[in-house]
Amino acid sequence: MLFLSLSILLSVLLLLNFRLFPRYEVNTFQAIVFNYPVCFLTGLLLLPAGQSFTIDFSQTWTWLSLGLGVGFILTFLLSGASTQRMGITVTSLANNLSLVIPVCFSLFVFRTGGGTSGFDTFNYLGLVLAVVAVGLSTYKKEPAASNQSDSPTLKPSRLGINVLLPIGVFLLYGATNTMINYMNLHYIPSTDKTIQVTLTMVLGAVVAGLVMLIVRIIQGKETIQAKSLIGAVTLGVPNFLSFYTLLLALSAFGSNGAFVYPLYNIGVILLAALLATLFFREQLSTANKIGLGLAVLAIGLISWQELAKAV
C-alpha cells in the first residue's frame, strides 16, 4: 500500500506544479519540455545494478514506445493548460476517468477485460456514469469577478474553447493507456524490460519536446528561462517516480491492475479535489460535486468484481 500511496501523492504533485507555475512565472511549455530529460536521468539512476540502457530500432515495440513518448508530451501540454484554465479538480477527473477508453478497448477489441464472467450490468452502468461525470465536472458557469489571483478565471468568450482542454486530456490519456495495454499484450518481451521500455518512451518525449522548442526558438516565440529549468526538476522527478511507484504497487498486489488502478484513480481524484479546495480555493458548483461523486461510483462499478475478490 506504501507504493500505491506514493504514486497517488506524486501524481497529484504534478497537477500542483502546473497550478503553481503561473504564480512563479514559470514557462509551462519549457518546463514540460525540459522535464523529460530530467525524467530520463531519474530513470537511469534507478536502473538495476549491472543494467544499462540500450535501444534496438529493429524491435516494433521500440518504435511504438517512441511514438507513445510523443503522445505523452502532447497529453502533458494539454494537462498543463487545462489545470491552469479549468482547475486541478476538473483536469484530474478528466485524466483519471480516461480509463473508460482502455477498458472499452480491452472489452470489445482486445477481449481481455471483464474477468471470467464478462462485463455485467453494473460494469456497463459504470462506463455510462464515467462519461456523465466528465461532462458534469467540466461544466463551469461564467465566473464572477474575483481578487484572488490563484483562482483560474475565464473570459466568457474563451470558456467554450477551454472546456475542450479537459476533454482533450480525457481522449489523449485514454489513447496512450490503450496503446500501453496493446504493447503489453503483443510486444513487451518480458517484465524485466519494463524500465527499458519506460526509458524508451521518455526518450521519444525528449526528442519531440526539443524539436518543438527549437522550432519555437527559431520563430522567435521562446527564450530559455532559468525558472523553467527549475520547474523542469520539480516536475520531472515526480513525473517519473509516479509511474515507477505505480509499477511497484502493481507488483506488490500481484499485478492485479483491476484492483490497483481503481484505487489509484479514486485516490488521485479525491486528493486533488481536497488540495485544490484547501490551498487554491477552487469553487466547485453543485454539478461539479455531483460529477466528483459519480466519478468515484463509476470507477467502483467498472471493476467491482475484482475489487470484491481482493477484499
pLDDT in tens, 32-89: 999 999 999 999 988 877 788 888 898 888 899 899 899 988 988 898 888 888 888 7
Q: Supply the pLDDT for residue 235.
A: 94
Please state the pTM of the whole predicted model.
Answer: 0.75
- According to the model, what pLDDT value does residue 234 have? 95
Q: Give the residues of the chain that fall short of pLDDT 50.
A: 115-116, 142-151, 157
Instruction: Write down the pLDDT at residue 145.
Output: 42
pLDDT tens string 138-147: 666 644 444 4
What string of DSSP letters covers 131-192? HHHHHHHT--PPPPP---TTS----HHHHHHHHHHHHHHHHHHHHHHHHHHHHHHHT---GG
- The predicted structure's pLDDT at residue 61: 84
**How far is the C-alpha of 242 from the C-alpha of 248, rounded, in Å?**
10
Q: What are the extents of the domains in the chain?
A: 2-143+153-310
Q: Is 262:307 a contact under the CB 8 Å cutoff? A: yes
Looking at residue 150, what is its pLDDT? 45
pLDDT for 149: 43
